[in-house]
Amino acid sequence: MEYTTLGRTGLKVGVAGLGCGGFSRLGLGTGKSEADAVNLVREAFSLGVNLFDTAAVYGTEAVLGKALKVLPRDQVVVTTKAWIPQRSGGSAATRLTTSLDHSLKQLGTDYIDVFQLHGVAPGAYNRVREVLAPVLLDQQAKGKIRFLGVTETGSTDAEHEMVQRAVEDGVWDVVMVAFHMMHQNARSLVFPRTSANGVGTLIMFAVRNIFSKPERLKAELRQLAAQDKVARWLAHAPNPLGFLVHSDGDGALSVPEAAYRFVRHEPGVDVVLFGTGDVEHLRANIASILRPPLPEIDRRMLAKFFGHLVGVGLDPPDYMPGLSLH
């Protein structure tokens, strides 16, 4: 594993972080048992993964807590989240504290390394900053939280409007941002700001369905071609991203591997989150993230073909609520 520092937190984290949500939910979403999920987390730790990202809404906090019982707590970075839908100001503050305390209990720990507000929409940010941030700062002072974070809403905030504001406030130590081969605008809109302000970055949507399921990619390209947003040959090619898979130099072995490598080596990226419910897939994902940058010619082609796209491939899992703090 390779390690980096998560922004101004000073936390030393592996560049590959295990996401406990997504479509797999540590395998619980695909029929695996809790015991399987616990073993998966422990195997990830043995491979050098030390950041585990969960959330109250994922339903995996308790499973992660079971896995953590046999791991050295001071060597693990736990990040979780609270989703607080619209309520009155006082009620929202109470719900936030309750969610934090419940997460602590589920995880079996006295503190959360990074506690994040989940899926904050641009229109909700003022209220989050004025009503909820003070609550989190108070809980931080009590030792329940080490650092504060905020996550964006993906496809409903494709221009990263909320994060662009949040990174300038001095409150949030970490942000979770969508960035991948066909949604590259965080390169100019987010990463220069996070780097300048010492804000750590957790990257979501690096692969998801669009790069792991060929038919999902083809359907998206057909729709984009119909809108004249990509070249029509891409929509009809049997393997539209096949140019990334080659044996020359450091060519990728697969499209998902290329997707992970593209994100991993972008300046401003700290941790690439990935999800899985299978041990072999776990090992393959980590290996992909640890491989060198894509060849320069491949990066240029990705910029040429897809650098202008915004909001592509940001579909959330079906079980997720409408993540916005309206």
Q: Give a yes or no: residue 322 inside a domain.
A: no
Q: Strands, DSSP E only, in the chain?
A: 3-5, 12-14, 16-19, 51-53, 77-82, 112-117, 145-151, 174-178, 200-204, 271-274
The DSSP line for 270-300 is -EEEE--S-HHHHHHHHHHHHSPPPPHHHHH
Here the CATH number for the domain that contains residue 118 is 3.20.20.100
Residue 314, in any domain of the structure: no
Q: Which residues of 128-143 are buried (b: 16+ CB within 10 A; e: fewer)?
A: bbebbbebbeebbeee
Residue 325 domain flag: no
Instruction: Let me know if residue 99 belongs to a domain.
Output: yes
Per-residue pLDDT tens digits for 258-287: 999 999 999 999 999 999 999 999 999 999
Q: What is the pLDDT of residue 324?
A: 37
Give the structural domain span for 263.
Answer: 12-306
Structure confidence by residue, pLDDT tens digits, 37-52: 999 999 999 999 999 9
Domain total in the chain: 1
How does pLDDT run across 111-149, given as a tens digit for each residue? Answer: 999 999 999 999 999 999 999 999 999 999 999 999 999
Q: How confident is the model at residue 302 (pLDDT cuts 50, 70, 90)?
A: very high
Does residue 252 form part of some domain?
yes
pLDDT tens per residue across span 53-100: 999 999 999 999 999 999 999 999 999 999 987 664 568 889 999 999
What is the Cβ-side half-sphere exposure of residue 199, based on CA atoms within 13 angstroms? 29
pLDDT of residue 322: 46
- Tens of pLDDT, residues 176-214: 999 999 999 999 999 999 999 999 999 999 998 899 999
Q: Please tell me the predicted confidence (pLDDT) of residue 318.
A: 61
Q: Is residue 223 part of a domain?
A: yes
Quick count: other Cβ atoms within 10 Å of Cβ 127?
17
Asked if 69 and 108 count as a contact pair (C-beta separation under 8 A), the reply is: yes
Answer yes or no: is 62 within a domain: yes
Whether residue 151 has pLDDT greater than 80:
yes
Q: Which of 182, 179, 204, 183 is nearest to 191 (CA)?
A: 179
Whether 323 shows a pLDDT value over 60: the answer reads no
Give a yes or no: residue 231 inside a domain. yes
